C-alpha cells in the first residue's frame, strides 16, 4: 500500500476539465477529487471567471502505470525479486457535466452559451457557491421548500411551483419514504401556492392533512400552515369522521362506465345495453341507481336490466349519494381548494374505481372552463394500471391517458405516485415532464425510467439504488437543475402507516 501511495503521489492525475463544444464538459482527476453525480463543480480558467458545471456523471477509470522494476521502489533495483516485471494499474476518475453559467463576485450569470476551453483546473463548489447558484436559478420564481440538498446540508432544496403545471410522476419502493414525502409536497403546495388540489387516496394516507402532528409546534412553517389547514376537506365513506360523505350519483358516471358496472358489452349484450341508454336518457340530468332499477322494471323490454342490477347488488353499495349529501363531482377542489377523497374507506375495489372515474370524468367534462387543478393519484397502479382485465379499471386508465395527453392545455395537471413505473399505464407516464424518484431496488425499473425520462442523466437515475430514507431526485420543470435532496419535516400526521413490528423482539 505504501508503494502504491508513492506511485500516486508521483504520477497523480491533474484535476482538469475541458470543453470542445458549447456546453458539454469533460473532466478527469484523482479518485479523491470529491465531485459527485448531481453536484456542482467550479472550473477556474486563467481569466478569473469561474465556470459553474452541473456534474452528470462520475466514473472510475484505469490506466497502466510503469513497471515496478523501473521505479526501484524498494531501494535495491539489483535484487532480482524486487525488479520483477509488474505493471501497476492506476485508478482515477473521469466525468461529464453541463455548463450552467459564469460566477463572479456579483453572482451567477446563467447562460446557455459558453466557449471551448482546454485543460483548466476543476474543483468541487463550496457550500456558499452552491447557495449562490441555486438562488440564481430560482431567481424570482415562486418556490416551495422541500428540505435540503443531500450533499450540501446547508443549502435548502426548493422546487419551482410553476413546474407543477406539467405532469409529475413520483416513484419509490415501499419503505423509501414516498408517502411521507408526498405529504410534505401536499403541505407545501397548500401553504405556498393557490393551486387547487384533488387527491385520490386509495390507502387513506393523507386524511390528516387538515391537522398538525404537533398542535403546539412553534416553528415558523407550522405557524404558516395553521393559517391554511382549514381549507383541507376530507371526503370519506358514510359513518366516518370527515368534512363530507364520499358518494356519487349513478348519473355522475359516463354511459360507458355505467355499462361497465353492469358488465354490459355493447355487442354481446345488445338489447340490455340499448335498454340502459334508453332508460337513462329519460331520467333527466341527475338520477340514482335506484331510479334506473325502477325505470327498468317498469317495462318488459328493460326488465332484464333491473334484474342485472339486483343480481350484482349494485343498488346496495354504500357509495351512492343519499338525499342531503353532496356528490364528489360537486365537492371538488375547484370550490374547496384542497380535497382528499379517501378511496381506502370504501368497501370494494369497484367502488373505489367508480369514484375515481366520476372525479376524473367530471374534471375532463369541465375542461373547457380552463380552471387549473392538480389531480393527485397516490398508489396510481390501483387506478391507472398498465394492464387489467377489469373493464372499470380499463376505463379509468383510458381516462387517465386522455387527461395526460390533452389535459395540460386545459389546466388539468396530474401528480402520479406509484412504487414501480411498470405498474402504471405507460401512456400516462410518457406524458410526465417531472420526475420525483426515491429509493429503487430493481435495475429493470431504472432501465424503464431511463427510457421514459431520457432528459434525466441515466447516472442520476441509478443513484436511487443507494438512496437512504427520505432521499429523492427531483428533475424536470419543478427542478430545472436536477436536485438530489433530503426531504424535510412533515407537519401533519401520516396516515396508513405500517403495522408495528414489535413481534420481532424475543418474548418477555
Mean model confidence pLDDT for the chain: 90
The residues, any chain, with a CB within 8 Å of residue 81's CB and separated by 6 or more, are: none
pLDDT (average), residues 405-424: 95
Could you tell me the pTM of the whole model? 0.90
What does the pLDDT look like over 52-70, one tens digit per residue? 999 999 999 998 877 766 5
DSSP notation for 115-137: --EEEEEEEEPPHHHHHHHHHHH
pLDDT of residue 39: 94
Give the closest residue to 432 by CA, choosing from 111, 210, 168: 168
What does the pLDDT look like over 425-474, one tens digit per residue? 999 999 999 999 999 998 899 999 999 999 999 999 999 999 999 999 99
pLDDT of residue 333: 56
pLDDT of residue 88: 80
| Alpha-carbon span 320 to 318, nearest angstrom | 6
Scanning the structure block, which residue is given the C-alpha cell 371538488?
A: 332
Centre a 10 Å sphere on the Cβ of residue 61 and count the other Cβ atoms it contains: 13
76 falls in which pLDDT band (50, 70, 90)?
low
pLDDT of residue 12: 85
pLDDT (average), residues 148-156: 93
pLDDT (average), residues 389-401: 93
The secondary structure of residue 15, as a DSSP letter, is -
What does the pLDDT look like over 208-238, one tens digit per residue? 999 999 999 998 889 989 999 999 999 999 9
508 falls in which pLDDT band (50, 70, 90)?
confident
pLDDT of residue 334: 62
Give the closest residue to 370 by CA, choosing from 413, 339, 341: 413
Cell of 474: 427531483
- Identify whether the C-beta of residue 68 lies closer than 8 Å to the C-beta of residue 76: no
Amino acid at each position: 500500500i505504501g508503494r502504491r501511495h508513492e506511485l500516486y503521489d508521483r504520477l497523480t492525475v491533474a484535476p482538469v476539465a475541458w470543453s470542445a463544444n458549447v456546453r458539454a464538459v469533460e473532466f478527469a482527476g484523482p479518485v479523491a477529487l470529491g465531485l459527485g453525480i448531481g453536484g456542482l463543480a467550479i472550473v477556474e480558467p486563467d481569466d478569473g471567471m469561474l465556470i459553474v458545471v452541473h456534474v452528470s456523471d462520475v466514473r472510475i477509470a484505469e490506466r497502466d502505470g510503469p513497471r515496478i522494476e523501473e521505479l526501484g521502489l524498494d531501494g535495491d533495483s539489483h535484487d532480482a525479486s524486487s525488479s520483477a516485471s509488474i505493471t501497476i494499474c492506476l485508478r482515477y476518475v473521469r466525468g461529464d457535466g453541463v455548463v450552467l453559467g459564469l460566477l463572479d463576485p456579483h453572482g451567477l450569470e446563467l447562460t446557455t452559451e459558453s466557449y471551448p476551453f482546454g485543460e483548466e483546473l476543476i474543483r468541487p463548489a463550496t457550500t456558499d457557491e452552491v447557495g449562490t447558484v441555486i438562488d440564481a436559478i430560482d431567481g424570482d420564481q415562486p418556490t416551495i421548500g422541500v428540505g435540503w440538498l443531500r450533499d450540501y446540508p446547508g443549502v435548502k432544496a426548493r422546487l419551482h411551483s410553476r413546474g407543477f403545471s406539467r405532469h409529475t410522476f413520483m416513484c419509490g419502493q415501499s419503505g423509501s419514504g414516498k408517502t411521507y414525502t408526498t405529504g410534505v409536497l401536499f403541505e407545501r403546495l397548500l401553504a405556498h401556492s393557490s393551486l387547487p388540489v384533488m387527491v385520490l387516496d386509495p390507502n387513506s394516507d393523507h386524511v390528516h392533512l387538515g391537522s398538525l402532528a404537533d398542535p403546539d409546534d412553534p416553528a415558523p412553517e407550522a405557524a404558516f400552515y395553521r393559517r391554511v389547514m382549514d381549507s383541507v376537506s376530507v371526503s370519506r365513506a358514510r359513518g366516518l369522521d370527515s368534512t363530507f360523505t364520499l358518494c356519487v350519483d349513478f348519473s355522475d358516471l359516463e354511459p360507458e362506465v355505467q355499462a361497465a358496472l353492469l358488465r354490459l358489452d355493447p355487442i354481446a349484450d345488445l338489447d340490455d345495453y340499448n335498454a340502459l341508454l334508453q332508460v337513462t336518457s329519460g331520467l333527466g340530468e341527475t338520477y340514482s341507481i335506484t331510479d334506473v332499477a325502477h325505470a327498468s322494471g317498469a317495462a318488459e323490454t328493460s326488465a332484464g336490466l333491473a334484474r342485472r342490477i339486483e343480481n350484482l347488488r349494485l343498488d346496495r353499495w354504500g357509495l351512492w349519494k343519499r338525499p342531503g349529501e353532496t356528490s364528489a363531482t360537486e365537492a371538488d377542489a375547484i370550490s374547496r381548494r384542497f380535497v382528499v377523497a379517501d378511496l381506502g374507506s370504501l368497501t370494494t375495489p369497484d367502488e373505489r374505481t367508480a369514484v375515481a372515474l366520476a372525479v376524473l370524468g367530471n374534471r375532463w367534462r369541465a375542461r373547457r372552463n380552463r380552471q387549473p387543478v392538480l389531480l393527485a393519484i397516490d398508489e396510481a397502479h390501483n387506478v391507472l394500471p398498465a394492464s387489467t382485465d377489469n373493464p372499470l379499471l380499463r376505463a379509468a386508465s383510458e381516462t387517465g391517458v386522455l387527461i395526460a395527453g390533452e389535459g395540460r392545455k386545459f389546466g388539468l395537471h396530474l401528480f402520479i405516485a406509484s412504487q414501480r413505473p411498470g405498474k402504471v399505464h405507460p401512456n400516462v407516464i410518457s406524458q410526465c415532464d417531472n420526475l420525483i424518484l426515491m429509493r429503487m431496488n430493481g435495475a429493470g425499473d431504472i432501465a424503464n425510467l431511463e427510457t421514459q425520462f431520457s432528459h434525466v442523466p441515466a447516472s442520476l437515475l441509478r443513484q436511487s439504488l443507494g438512496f437512504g430514507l427520505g432521499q429523492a431526485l427531483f428533475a424536470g420543470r419543478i427542478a430545472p437543475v436536477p436536485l438530489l435532496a433530503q426531504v424535510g419535516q412533515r407537519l401533519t400526521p401520516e396516515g396508513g402507516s405500517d403495522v408495528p413490528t414489535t413481534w420481532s423482539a424475543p418474548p418477555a
